[in-house]
Structure 1
Amino acid sequence: MAGGCWAKTDEAYVTLLYGDEFLLGVRVLGKSIQDTGSTKDMVVLVSDGVSDYAKKLLRADGWILWPISLLANPNQVRPKRFWGVYTKLKIFNLTRYRKVVYLDADTIVLKNIDDLFNCGRFCANLKHSERLNSGVMVVEPSETVFNDMMSKVNSSPSYTGDVFYVQWMVNETELKVIHYTLGPLKPWDWWTAWLVKPVDVWQNARVKLEESLPGTGGGRNPNQQLLLKLLFSFPYVLYYYVTTGPAFRFKSGGGLPTYSGVSATSSSIIKSNQQV
């Protein structure tokens, strides 16, 4: 796999997966690419943190898996979630391909973007003058360039941080790629729907996910279904226990048992309190 023996074309869409946290994002991204009619290869760089189940599901979705080791971010002044972002540099080493279009797992493709493969050796979305957002890049892989970058990783200055898009200034009918960049808030987190826009676009693609493996249609995860069932059934189990358990029978039994040493006054007080 690492040698690209599964490659079908000389151009590919590429993404990166550290662990299972962004698995659903990669699935939706792949579906969105396929829905545009593109026939390019789809390659996902996977680290040791990705489970065997996730790998099996990605293969079933049509992804080519390319095992890699993570590359630590030498820039210490950065958000913690960017600790492995330097691993993206390894797309320059995908020399099996003539050209690759890299897309973060939190992006979605709305229209065919195959024309990006006509870009030069390197293209990216510039933000704040000389800075760029690495969520969407076009790269011409080169072993020479890759080795040169690896030799300078620990000595070259770096910028790693959040770059927010002013998306509402763009005509939505012209959008081809959406990148959800609002920090750690992602469209698959249901509670962020009112913050992350436009979530409906991403969710519409999610519900169209096919059942590549049993129970995975619409982005469901069968490994979590049992847990969800237990969580939803807990209130009912608790209610059943409270209404049928010993404590309920004791309270509804008509009073405490009578003891010879208890006076009538005390017994009346007890029964009165119990009724209350």
Structure 2
Amino acid sequence: MADQAFVTLATNDNYAKGAMVLGKSLRNHKTSKKLVVLIGPHVSEPSRAVLGRIYDEVRLVDVLDSGDTAHLAMMKRPDLGVTFTKLNCWTLTHYSKCVFMDADTLVVSNIDELFDREELSAAPDPGWPDCFNSGVFVFRPSNETYGKLLQHCTEHGSFDGGDQGVLNSFFSDWATADIRKHLPFIYNMSSIAIYTYLPAFKQYGANAKVVHFLGKTKPWSYMYDPKLKVMRGDVQEAATHPGFLLEWWTLYSSCVVPMLHQEYGDQPFHSGCEDLPPQSEHAPPSISSAERKQRWEQGQADYMGIDSFDSIEKKLAVFLK
């Protein structure tokens, strides 16, 4: 299947790290498809070199300087710059079918069966299930579709300011036309949803195939100690199951960081992996029950600490006894 490919996008070095881990996770789970990464001009040369060792094709895309139809569209809607960049995936017409995956996703099982689906197949968004989440979707590259998408962007913009709003508006019949284009949630399991419906995660989470680290805090936003296998960071902003985060960091530290060191050579760079001081020095201050309740209501639970899945399960077990 040389004419089928997984496609992702990295606009800077941080998202390039995500793309590296995504590519390695696809390789580790024995995909038979090609791997393609679209990169922006702000991705450094060492990062490009590492991506080139993981992906079959590294393609530079920069709609701001392209001079083509995307450039003309940008003049009318400069607010949609990143969206226009992502839509470049439809220009990969040397492939007959592709699966786009955001760089903040992680594959935990082989997903080649997605290529049995048709355009536009995607999983529902946990925030509004009548919309699909554009972090994982099946599509057919087409210059005609690309042109129509750019025109749609120019005329209608995006209701959420990004690519998801544009794509849901363009493929507006996704929710009603063909249930076969609704991917099961396990192909795009958002880390946020784990904590909004814990019983379902407990029932179906073991079948997850793709984890999507939604939210402002990405896996590469943390620090990691490879020796102790512990992460540190702002746990109040974390919105994911620690096990998946640890899986991301284990793959990144063992497979990606050595390649980055080789490419950077003597140049300094921030890998995020280092020996960390004892946890007590970084432990968040204790909070009152009222403040903890308020943080829960604001969606700021301590998912890595006292409000972790394991802690909640233990508390429920005590209560039920």
* TM-score interval for Structure 1 and Structure 2 normalised by the shorter chain: 0.5 to 0.7
Q: How many aligned positions are there?
A: 214
| Structure 1 residue 172 corresponds to structure 2 residue 205 | yes
Deviation for aligned residue 1:39? 2.3
1:17 pairs, out of 5, 10, 13, with 10
Distance 1:74 1:222, change over 3 A: farther
Deviation for aligned residue 1:222? 6.2
Identical aligned residues as a percent: 25
Q: Distance in 1 between matches of 2:138 and 2:42?
A: 26
Q: Distance in 2 between matches of 1:226 and 1:32?
A: 22
User: In terms of mean alpha carbon deviation, does 10-19 or 55-64 score higher?
Assistant: 55-64
Contact 1:91 1:141 (8 Å CA) reproduced: yes
Q: Distance in 2 between matches of 1:142 and 1:226?
A: 38
Contact 1:16 1:88 (8 Å CA) reproduced: yes
| Structure 1 residue 186 corresponds to structure 2 residue 218 | yes
1:184-232 Cα shifts (integer Å, max 9, x gaps): 2011122447324231121122233157647259xx996335999xxx9
Per the alignment, residue 155 of structure 1 pairs with: 155
| Structure 1 residue 136 corresponds to structure 2 residue 136 | yes
| Structure 1 residue 197 corresponds to structure 2 residue 263 | no
Q: Distance in 1 between matches of 2:136 and 2:270?
A: 37
Q: Which runs of 5+ in 2 are unaligned?
A: 64-69, 165-189, 223-231, 277-321
Q: Distance in 2 between matches of 1:221 and 1:134?
A: 36
Quote the RMSD (CA, aligned, Å): 3.2
Per the alignment, residue 224 of structure 1 pairs with: 268
| Structure 1 residue 123 corresponds to structure 2 residue 121 | yes
Contact 1:61 1:212 (8 Å CA) reproduced: no
Report SS of the residue matched to 1:154. helix
User: In terms of mean alpha carbon deviation, does 131-140 or 192-201 score higher?
Assistant: 192-201
Q: Distance in 2 between matches of 1:227 and 1:113?
A: 29
Deviation for aligned residue 1:85? 2.8
1:113-152 Cα shifts (integer Å, max 9, x gaps): 0000110121112221442221111111112111122222
Report SS of the residue matched to 1:208. helix
| Structure number with larger C-alpha Rg | 1
Report SS of the residue matched to 2:41. coil
Q: TM-score, normalised by structure 2?
A: 0.59
1:13-66 Cα shifts (integer Å, max 9, x gaps): 100011212121111111100011112111001122222221112112234111
| Structure 1 residue 208 corresponds to structure 2 residue 254 | yes
Q: Distance in 2 between matches of 1:98 and 1:132?
A: 22
1:139-185 Cα shifts (integer Å, max 9, x gaps): 11112111122222211242226998412433221100000002x20
Q: Distance in 2 between matches of 1:104 and 1:112?
A: 17
Distance 1:210 1:192, change over 3 A: closer
Report SS of the residue matched to 1:188. helix
Paired letter, 1:186: K
Per the alignment, residue 52 of structure 1 pairs with: 45
